[in-house]
Structure 1
Amino acid sequence: MSETLMVLPASEPTDIRLVRVPDEFEQHEAFRHVTGLIASIEEENPGYTWEDIAAVLEDHGFEPVDFILGPALD
């Protein structure tokens, strides 16, 4: 199992997500792939939810990971 994780930033801290990247992706490939997947979801379904995105990411091998948000490092 891959140990590479990708943070999906958001303007609202509670909307930040974390996914495990499949082993077959290099970092730059994973970034481009996820960007394309999210863009296609946004284009096809303007009322999308995180569950819609998570389902498509999982279909492509990206595994959502539970995490807790720590204090800000300002």
Structure 2
Amino acid sequence: MMLLVVASREAEVFMKEKLMVLPSTHFEQIRVVSIPNDLDASEAFRYATGIIAQAEESEGDYSWDDIAEALEARGFIQVDVVLGPELD
């Protein structure tokens, strides 16, 4: 099961966007998604963990695309991020 971290960032137009980090043990698989405005952080966490758990139970070989599709159906949006080099 992945752990989730919720943060927020402030856009140039002074709107707050809630973000969720979907960590991974593999550096290149870390993902960031924006949280829909109608969900608070707790609801977003529960929804995302439910989607991940459902993917793990139903398919042994699920991919990020399976999870992303389910999250996008609820209004989550994948955010492009550039992460620094992996630290040993």
Q: What TM-score does the superposition give when structure 1 sets the normalisation length? A: 0.88
Match of 2:26 among 4, 9, 12: 12
1:21 pairs with one of 25, 35, 42: 35
2:84 & 2:37 partners in 1: Cα distance?
A: 27
| TM-score, scaled to structure 2 | 0.75
- Superposed displacement of residue 12, structure 1: 1.0
* Structure label with greater radius of gyration: 2
Q: Between Structure 1 and Structure 2, which shows a larger proportion of strand residues?
A: 2
The 5 Å alignment of 1:1-74 reads 3-71=17-85
Q: Structure 1: any 5+ residue segments left out of the alignment?
A: none
Q: Which has the higher helix share?
A: 1
Alignment size in residue pairs: 73
- 1:19–1:62 contact (8 Å) kept in structure 2: yes
